[in-house]
Amino acid sequence: MTFMSECPSCGRSIAWSTDNPYRPFCSARCKGADLIGWAEEKNVLPVDSEDEDFPREPED
């Protein structure tokens, strides 16, 4: 009995097998792509207005 699954990265139908070290991905490439995506997402910090710390004009 073979379970079919879909690679979360490329969507290709793959056989869910314990022989597949890359599951749930179809290949090392897809697994790597997903990990890279995660890493990039983690490293992307929301750009706040901190950079635009423009000097305020004194109110006097």
Is residue 33 close enough to count as binding Zn ion by CB under 5 A?
A: no
Which of 2, 6, 7, 15 lies at the binding interface for Zn ion (CB under 5 A)?
Answer: 7
| Cα 49 to chain centroid, rounded | 25
Span interacting with Zn ion, options 7-15, 16-24, 33-41, 46-54, rule CB under 5 A: 7-15
Question: What are the C-alpha distances in Å from 54 to residues 30, 45, 48?
Answer: 44, 21, 13
Which of 6, 10, 20, 33 lies at the binding interface for Zn ion (CB under 5 A)?
Answer: 10
End-to-end Cα spacing for the chain: 80
Identity of the residue, 19 or 48, whose beta carbon is nearer to Zn ion in the bound complex: 19
